[in-house]
Chains A and B, each alone.
Chain A
């Protein structure tokens, strides 16, 4: 049940991000909803499920848009794993922390893409990319975290309630 619902989330997110989201781009930048999804899910469920969600989102992106299989899968898996590690240490009802963490995740993720995909090919204008891509995307993603985290949080509560009865926990 849980696996099915998160798979649905991953696929719907991929579809929207690759088609409709391009209509609301600001100066050619769209929010990175994949990373928001992975980080939010990792924060709610811990590093193992975060890494799994990251792996499948990345694989989907690799198959349809990547130059090689495994690049985005690796990045997203590691993101999910790292951000899931602290899930026992904070209150999930809090919105500020997911926003901050998503901003950090998007910034780090895009910087790594810049270093591996552009810096090594001789694109040295980091300042331009910082001002025109990294900063707007981070802010934009930060705003998008609120509704997405709310949806994931609600779904997760509902699923945990169902699981509680099913497995007779507590």
Chain B
């Protein structure tokens, strides 16, 4: 202790130097966690899962009390909706089989492949206020690796940036470091959906680099485009809320409202890595 007190200025300088070198060396893409991180994750993440569960339980109870009056009404509406959707689903299944037969006849591959998905729970969120990073409870041991894509039943959530043995670190599409190549389903206009800090807390993001001549409109549906090597094409992202022209007048940008409710998200689906093999099937 005496030694530390006497040389604290030198020590703090050395530590600063080491950490600066560390930051520069480790910045950037890192697919797998080291065994030290995995070991720490093995200890920390189960406790996080537990505290998260406790929080979720209280949250759901509070929600239940708050929404008690509207529940019966909502239940009735949902039942009607289920009946409608079942009807529609039957019809779509027929289309699907017909589509498969026809594409087999034409010898073209299926455009929207069936992805194998694994469910996973969100166990912790970024303790700071700047980024939208979260941890999920599946890792390398369950076959999860970096750059796998996360979705929810409603649409795209994000991607995995690093995977440890029993947990993975993921980045949502609202994070200001994320960018997803996207297109409008109706007109086929291309753009890039980027997270922005000022929109993050209201759960919105921004689609940039849209051509000034593009016929994109408010209410158009945005899906991932075929231009990305991380995100498979055709995953729904959200709806256009607002369109603005950039200051330079050459491009437009749109405010996108994702279909996913990021505030109340607690489970995600991980899309498996073997999408290329499935897409190749006729």
Which residues of A approach B to under 8 Å, CB–CB? 11, 14-23, 27-30, 32, 34, 47-48, 51, 55, 60-61, 63-65, 67-71, 73-74, 77-78, 81, 110, 113-114, 117-118, 121, 123, 125, 128-129, 132-133, 137
Q: Known contacts A16-B51, A68-B26: does B44 contact A77 (CB below 8 Å)?
A: no
Closest Cβ–Cβ distance, residue A25 to chain B (whole Å)? 8
8 A Cβ contacts from B1-21 to A: 1, 4-5, 8, 12, 15-16, 18-20
Q: Within the assembled complex, what's the spacing in Å between the Cα atoms of A108 and B23? A: 20
Q: Is the CB of B28 within 8 A of A20?
A: no
Chain A residue, CB-CB nearest to B7? A48
Q: Known contacts A15-B48, A21-B127, A77-B15: does B201 contact A68 (CB below 8 Å)?
A: no
Determine whether B155 belongs to the interface, using a CB cutoff of 8 Å to chain A.
Answer: no
Q: Is the CB of B128 within 8 A of A113?
A: yes
Determine whether B126 belongs to the interface, using a CB cutoff of 8 Å to chain A.
Answer: yes
Q: Is the CB of A70 within 8 A of B130?
A: no
- Residue numbers in B under 8 Å from A74 (CB-CB): 16, 19-20, 23
Closest Cβ–Cβ distance, residue B40 to chain A (whole Å)? 6
16 residue pairs bridging A and B, Cβ less than 8 Å apart:
A15-B48, A16-B51, A18-B48, A18-B125, A20-B51, A21-B127, A48-B5, A51-B12, A63-B37, A63-B40, A64-B124, A64-B169, A65-B126, A77-B12, A77-B16, A113-B128
Q: Is the CB of A18 within 8 A of B126?
A: yes
Which of A19, A30, A63 sits near B129, CB closer than 8 Å?
A30
Q: Within the assembled complex, what's the spacing in Å between the Cα atoms of A24 and B81? A: 34
Q: Is the CB of A29 within 8 A of B129?
A: yes
- Residue numbers in B under 8 Å from A73 (CB-CB): 19, 22
